Structure 1
Amino acid sequence: MGRIIFDTAATINGWIADEHDSLSWLFAVPGGETPDESLIPSGAAVMVEGRTTYEWVLRESDILAHPEKWQEFHGTRPTFVFTHRELPVPEGADIRFVSGSVSEALPGIREAAGDADIWVVGGGDLAGQFLDAGALDELAISIAPVTLTGGAPLFPRRVESDRLHLEEATAVGQFARLRYTVLPARTAS
């Protein structure tokens, strides 16, 4: 069974999107528009996104009019989108809409991934739901030299240091890359 990885970019002060759910701040950073290959989870066979991330991607790249752009980032990987709304699907994309809890959707997501990794692309609350379900294995953050006054938080959960083990801290262009293993919650004695 593969790992479940939340791999994302964030500002220095912990936002993954601005007040308008935009990532334009990220694309303005040198290397932000075309990330270094080392920043992409290469072993991920499945991607998971929340509705806000999915709709932003569709809008930002005008993917419904240019469905070939979907492949540039997502490839042919199945993408699970958590939503309670009916949303459009780009031609040729393998989109699987799910509603309900992460725990309920997890068996189908794991089945689609087989032994490969699962990449939780965004957002932070969705990644937090994977943590709540005891299913998040890794947190990888590319910290950009940007601050925002508000928006979508990186990880809207309280997670103490006993749950995160630093595996790697490196510089990748203008980004500080941090990678943590997520440890199981301790049970009360």
Structure 2
Amino acid sequence: MGKIVFDTASTLNGFLADDQHSLSWLFAVAGGTEPDPTLLPQAATILVEGAHTYEWMLREWQGADAQQWQEFAGARPIFVFTSRELPVPEGADVRFLRGDVAAALPTLREAAGEGDIWLIGGGDLVGQFFDAGALDEIAVTVAPVTLPSGAPLLPRRIESDRLTLVEARQVGQFARLAYRVG
């Protein structure tokens, strides 16, 4: 069984997205549109995100063909937690989940097989994985940007006795931090 990893980019002051759920701030940073491949979870076999992240992708890639989704996810399915009906772009392997994260864990682990589960966002969804005792690692690539407000990185209190630093490095204009959750 693989790990459940929250791997994301954040502003310096801890926001995943701005008030409109946009990541335009990230793409304005040199290297933001094409991240260093070592920053992406190589062992992830499925991707998991919340509805806001998925809706942003739908808006950003509006009219995109299956190739755009394939370039992003590869052969990995994308699982979206939502309580609403949302469209699925042609050729994209998107699967919807409703309800409690803990109840969905068997489905996610079965789909992931021996691979890792990559939690893309949002922060509250990741917090639900933490609350369920199912978050193994938090990796944040910090961008040299601040926002006055937006979607917080992880709206939960997690004390230092639960986090062990396993990586800290510079990648271009970004700072990479990774913690094991215990």
TM-score calculated relative to the size of structure 1:
0.94
Match of 1:2 in 2: 2
Matched to 1:27, the amino acid is F
The 3-state SS of whatever aligns with 1:38 is helix
Structure 1 runs not aligned, ≥5 long? 184-189
> Which sits farther off after the overlay, 70-79 or 137-146?
70-79
Q: Partner amino acid for 1:93?
A: A
Please give the alpha-carbon distance, in whole angstroms, between the structure 1 residues aligned to 2:90 and 2:80. 16
Cα distance in 2 between the residues matched to 1:86 and 1:44:
26
**Secondary structure in 1 aligned to 2:65?**
coil
Moved more, 106-115 or 65-74: 65-74
Residues 65, 91 of structure 2: 8 Å contact kept = no
User: Partner residue of 2:67?
Assistant: 68
Q: What is the one-letter code of the residue matched to 1:10?
A: S
- State the TM-score, normalized to the length of structure 2: 0.98
CA distance in 1, matches of 2:125, 2:74: 22
Paired position in structure 2 for 1:107 = 106
How far, CA to CA, are the matches of 1:67 and 1:116 in structure 2? 24
What is the rounded CA distance, in whole Å, between the counterparts of 2:36 and 2:61 in structure 1?
Answer: 20
Q: What is the CA–CA distance in structure 2 between the aligned matches of 1:66 and 1:95, rounded to whole Å?
A: 14
Tell me the number of residue pairs that the alignment of Structure 1 and Structure 2 aligns: 182
Structure 1 residue 94: Cα displacement: 1.3
1:54 counterpart SS class: helix
Deviations 1:71-127 (A, max 9, x none): 111112011100011111111211110010100111000000001000000111111
Partner of 1:161: 160
Distance 1:72 1:152 in 2: 26
Give the drift of 1:65.
4.2
Match of 2:123, as an amino acid?
Answer: G
Q: Which residue of 2 aligns with 1:35?
A: 35
Counterpart in the other structure of 1:187 = none
Report the identity percentage.
65
5+ residue gaps, structure 2, are none
Deviation at 1:67, TM superposition (A): 2.7
Deviations 1:131-180 (A, max 9, x none): 00000000000000000000000000001000100001000010000000
Which amino acid counterpart does residue 30 of structure 2 have in structure 1? P
